[in-house]
Amino acid sequence: MARGSSGIVAGLTAAALAAVCFLAYQASANAPDSVAAPSDKASGATAAPSPKPKAPKEPFAVPADSDTGTRVVYALKDRRVWIVDDKEKALRTFTVMPSSVNPLPGVYAVTSRSGTITGSDGVPIEHVVRFANVGEVSVGFSAAQDNSMESPDPTMKTGGVRMKRTDGNALWTFATVGVKVVVVP
């Protein structure tokens, strides 16, 4: 009986140690810079003053010059999409992985949709929302069924702008055929 209970104690001790290590990691990852990193003054090192950091761009702020009304805004440089209602309010914004072929900045409309297909790169995708053609390449938003957002192979001409599945679900619900898509630089 003593051997069996010592095994239980050892298992509980290991589980408790793992939990403490996990909580310590979480605490260190979320600690403010002033607590998490040692000060240069404390170590005696002198450093040149760092440049003033830029204020972070408000992610929910819809880009200027992105037209008006109900629309999807796709910012090529920022790799970000906004879903905007008729009151100019961003209902949702999220990052995307651009395709190897991008449309020019301009105003487009959703032309077709597909629930589940295989992408031109061979990846199973869902919630495809097509809005532009560049040459023979159809450009649209989609989510990989495995939730990946890999960089596209630059040697392949693909038009899939990838996003996470939860973002793809939201875009699918919003962007029906005819909804405006505005591409900004």
pTM of the model: 0.68
pLDDT value of residue 32? 45
Yes or no: say if 128 and 141 are a contact pair by the CB < 8 Å rule. Answer: yes
Q: Return the residue matching tokens 């702008």.
A: 161
**Over the stretch 24-38, which tens digit does the pLDDT of each residue have?**
444 444 444 443 444
**Over the stretch 121-143, which tens digit does the pLDDT of each residue have?**
889 999 999 999 999 999 999 99
**71-184 homologous superfamily:** L,D-transpeptidase catalytic domain-like (2.40.440.10)
Please classify residue 121 by burial: count the beta carbons closer than 10 Å to its beta carbon, then call 0-12 exposed, 13-18 middle and 19+ buried.
Answer: middle
Is the confidence at residue 2, as pLDDT, over 60? no
Is the confidence at residue 18, as pLDDT, over 70? no
